[in-house]
Structures are given as structure tokens and as C-alpha cells.
Structure 1
Amino acid sequence: MGAGHTSHGVGSGPGLPDPSLAPLYLLVFIGGVVYAALLWRQRQLGREWPLGRSLMFALGILLVAYGLSPALMAAGHADLRVHMTQHMLLGMFAPLALVLGQPLTLLLRSLPVSAARRLTGLLHAAPLRWLMHPLVALTLNVGGMYLLYLTPLYAAMLESGWLHLLAHFHIIAAGFLYSSVVAGVDPSPLRAPFAWRLGTLLAGAALHAVLGKLMFAGLYPRGTGQAPEVIEAAARRMYYWGDLAEALLACMLFWSWLKARDRERIKAQRQAAAAL
């Protein structure tokens, strides 16, 4: 590790891909290819798809690719400050962009009607309904951060390839789930009421700030050989960058709420016109 500690548990040297993260690299590649294929499908069907959504999804994929790039992975493995930058990119900013790409809506629009109905039925299954509850999404996202940084898990991750893979997969997946559930950009009958999502966002912001302060005051994570000033800088980075990400997520939440309210008003006007 950079500040007086060298770890050889994972990684393959600067500039070379980390073999332990190969499944994650493949998953990101497949996600980008599938989204591009669905865009092509929309074009074949003669349907419009907002360019802004495509650009946001592409931005999300690029942020994930940069966060997992070999140079940044090597630097993050050696320096907690760089790792924290990775965490913010992979777990907060990239998921925001991916969610704004509305991949679920694009998928449902691209499938045949029968297949779209079957997929919608699967989305209503009990496990997914439980997973998309705001409190579950909050626990998986913010609770995962507490587990990673306030326990020996972070130090163990530096020495284990499979823990390295699992931790980075969880950071991305939990961040995407949390952003999806709170922002509610994709129309979904599973979306929680606005008050629930706003309360979850406020709780998440508070818990995130508390974690940054605990890391700063207690010099967490421990057992990594990082100098105190490095840990303090990483904690500050989490604290302030987290505030920015939460503010952007709040903007998404209120934007989606206004759009939903407009849709309801238009629907009510059409129903009134039909009744007349």
C-alpha cells in the first residue's frame, strides 16, 4: 500500500487489467452492447428514443470503465484516497448516469408485447418487490459502505481476488439499485411513494455524512498501513463528494416526481374529455 504498505494479494501491475475483475469487465461490456442493440432495435421499429438518455447511459458506462481502468485500479489499491475516488465514481456518479439512460424502459419498448408482459410479471415477483423497497436499497448501499470501511473487510479485500471482485460488484450494483429506487425515473408500478423515497434519500445522506466523520475521527479503515493524513483526506473526499452525489440524486427525485405529476394531470384531462 502506498503509505508504507505493499500488498500483492490482487492486481497485476500498473497498466495491466486486474484478472480478478474479468467477470466485471465482461458484464460492463455486455451492458453497453445490449443497450446499443436495443437502440438499433428502436431504429428498426421506427421509434424515437431521446438522445439525452443514450448520452447519459454512455456517460455511465464510461465512468464505470474509467473507475475500473487498470491504472486507476492499481493506484486505488495503493492509496485510499484514489480508492475513494473510485468508489464515488462507481457507486454514486456512474449509477446516476446509468439510471437516467432508462435501460428498463428501453428494454420493455424493444421486446415483443408478449415478452414485455412476461418481463413485467417477473418484475412483480416477491423477491424483486422486496429488493426494490427503499429501506432495502438503503441498507444494501449505505450499509455496505459501513461494512467495508468500519470492519476488517477493506484490508481483507486488498489480499483476496474474489473479495476484490465482490466488493466492486456490490459498489456498482447497490449504487444502481439505490439510484433507481430513489429517483424513480423509469415508470414502474413498484415505485415507492414520493414521501418514502424522499425520506430514504435524507436518511442516506445523513448516514453517509456520519460514515465520513467516523472514518475521519477513528482513522478507518484500519489495518491497511495507510498514513493518518491519507485516511483523513479519503474521509473528506467521501464526505464532500457524497454531498454532491446526494444533491444530484435529489434533483433526479424531484424531476421524476414533477414528470409523474404531469402525466397524471394529462391522464385526468383525457379521461374528463372522454367522459364529455
Structure 2
Amino acid sequence: MSHPHHLDLALLVMAAAIGYELLAARVPDWPPRRTLFFLAGAALLVAGLTLEAAGFRAHMLQHLLIGMLAPLGLVLGAPVTLLLRTSPRPVARLIGRALRHRAVHLVANPVTALALNLGGLAVLHVTPLYAATTRDPALATLVHVHFVLSGYLFAWVVAGPDPAPRRPSVPARLVVLGVAVAFHSIFSQLLYAGVIDVPAAAEERRGGAELMYYGGDIAELLLAAALVSGWRPRRQGVKTARTQSSSLSLNIR
């Protein structure tokens, strides 16, 4: 049975999903796909939080759901953009100022987000922290919150449609994503081989490592697809050339 703290978090997620739907209903031209993405992310997050993590394999499935797949769906829902479009002007300005704050500039950096995401994964499994979470449900909840937030942050700065301060170029973000793919691959293989030791039976450990290896690849491929789907360098170049040609032909400026 899931711990009450996890159920409380699941209820908060469901409340956020309902709030998102209410706000989306107020925007006539809000893309339906954004709503579907957000609701799918919320459903995956609730599923992960309420999953009975009995064993290391279930623990890794939980991590995959709440730390990688669910955040991607939530981010692709563009909740900040929706909030900006439905908030009163003073509130929207406040949100805009918050996004330009120095602290946000520091955190909303692909390298920082990568360090928080992968660093948390390494600390959890290389130190006695994982064993401690199996004995302390409150600690396990804190770890889950970290993975949700760090996963959301990473997906946002790499491929999120919401505005982000000083977002690097698409090729630079692809390099960061490639580092994440390589890390997950190497880490899962070390885990499978038993080089990284966790308090779990060998079969459970190998099963969890396989989930990290294959499930992580799927999640990161989806993130890469989200990143490159909005990247149209050639089309933008053609559009710019056409605009310049039209401007010259009409003697504009």
C-alpha cells in the first residue's frame, strides 16, 4: 500500500490537472495537444506515486515514471504559458520578473539541470541513501519530490515550450541530452554488473538496471524528439530570405 505522503502528493497532482483544464477552457485557441500532454504527464505521475515499490525493479519503474516520463508530459503541456495567458496583467508581470531572476537564470541552465538530475540518481544508488529510503517513507517522499522537480527542470530547459531565460542553441542542448543518454547507459550497465551495489537481490538489481537502460533510452528519445520537432533552421532561413526579397522588391526601408 502506498504511503500517505505519496497519496497526498498524488492528490495535489490531480488538483493541478483539474486546475489546468479549467484554465485551458478559458483560452479558446489553446492547442488540445497541450492539454493531452499535461494530463498524460499528470496520470503518469499519479501512477508512479501510488505504485507499490516493493523491490528494486519497482523502485526503478517508479523513478522512470516520476523522474523522466511524467515531467516530459507536464512540460509539453506548457503550463507557464497557459498561466501567463489566463492571469491578470499584474500577476503575469510578476511571473515574468520571476523568470528573469538571477536564481532562475542559474538553475534554468541545461548543465545545472543535468547535474541536479544525474547527481541525484548517482547519490541515491552509490550512497546508503536508497537503503535509508526503504526504511523511512518520509525520506522516500523527499527523494521523489527531488526527482519530479529535477526531471521537470531538465525537460523544461532542454525542450520545454514555455519561456526560459538564456536558453542555449538546439545543438548545445542536444549535446547535454547526449551526455544524459551516455550517463544512464553506463550507470545502468554498472548496476547490472553489480559494480554499483544496492541492497537488493541479484535478479531484482538486474531487472531494475534493464528498466533504467531501456526505459531511460525511450524517455530520452522522446525528449530529443520534442526538442528537434520545434527546430526548423532551414525553414527559418528560407523564410528570412523570402522576407528580405519581398522587402527589397517593395523598397521597404
TM-score when normalising by structure 1:
0.82
Q: Is contact 2:192-2:205 (8 Å) kept?
A: yes
Q: CA offsets, 1:8-28, max 9 Å, x none? A: xxxxxx3xx412324422431
Deviates more, 1:125-134 or 1:106-115: 106-115
Aligned with residue 22 of structure 2, among 30, 37, 50 = 37
- Correspondence for 1:160: 136
Q: Does 1:245 align with 2:226?
A: no
Contact 1:150–1:220 under 8 Å retained in 2 = yes
Letter in 1 for 2:209: A
The correspondence for 2:35, drawn from 54, 66, 91, is: 54
Equivalent AA in structure 2 for residue 255 of structure 1:
S
Matched residue, 2:201: 227
1:44-79: CA deviation from partner (whole Å, max 9, x where unpaired) = xxx31111111111111111111122xx22xx1x21
Distance 1:134 1:19 in 2: 33
Trace 1:1-276 onto structure 2 (pairs within 5 A). Answer: 14=1, 17-42=2-27, 47-69=28-50, 72-73=51-52, 76=53, 78-218=54-194, 220-222=196-198, 224=199, 226-258=200-232, 273=247, 276=252
How big is the alpha-carbon RMSD for the aligned residues of Structure 1 and Structure 2?
2.3
Q: How far off its partner does 1:270 sit?
A: 6.3
Using the TM superposition, give the Cα deviation of residue 191 of structure 1 relative to its aligned residue in structure 2, in angstroms: 1.9
Contiguous gaps of at least 5 residues in structure 2: none
Aligned to 1:3: none
- d(CA) in 2 for partners of 1:129, 1:65: 30
The alpha-carbon deviation at position 209 of structure 1 amounts to 0.9
Give the superposition deviation at 1:256.
Answer: 2.3
Offset of residue 221 of structure 1: 4.5
Mark the CA change 1:165 to 1:124 in structure 2 (over 3 Å): closer, same or farther: same
Whether contact under 8 Å (1:184, 1:256) holds in the other structure is no
| Shift in Å, 1:192 | 2.1
Q: What's the CA shift string for 1:162-208, capped at 9, x where partnerless?
A: 21111111111111111111113224443222232111101111111
8 A Cα contact 2:34 2:76, kept in partner: yes
What amino acid sits opposite 2:134 in the alignment?
L
* Distance across 2 between alignment mates of 1:93 and 1:248: 9
- Give the match's secondary structure for 1:165: helix
- Relative to 1, partners in 2 of residues 1:265 and 1:188: Cα closer, same or farther, differing over 3 Å? farther
Question: Structure 1 pair 137/102, CA: closer, same or farther in 2 (3 Å)?
Answer: same
Q: Alpha carbons of 1:22 and 1:115: their partners in 2 closer, same or farther (altered >3 Å)? A: same
Q: Alignment identity in percent?
A: 39
Q: Return closer, same or farther for 1:265/1:166 CA change in 2, 3 Å cut-off.
A: farther
Judge conservation of contact 1:149–1:220 (CA < 8 Å) in 2: yes
Aligned-pair CA distance for 1:242: 0.8
The TM-score, its normalising length taken from structure 2, stands at: 0.89
CA distance in 2, matches of 1:270, 1:21: 54
What is the alpha-carbon distance in structure 1 between the residues aligned to residue 57 and residue 13 of structure 2? Answer: 24
Query: Shift in Å at residue 33 of structure 1?
Result: 2.5
- The residue that corresponds to 1:11 in the other structure is none
C-alpha distance in structure 2 between counterparts of 1:237 and 1:265, whole Å: 43
Contact 1:155 1:221 in 2 (8 A): no
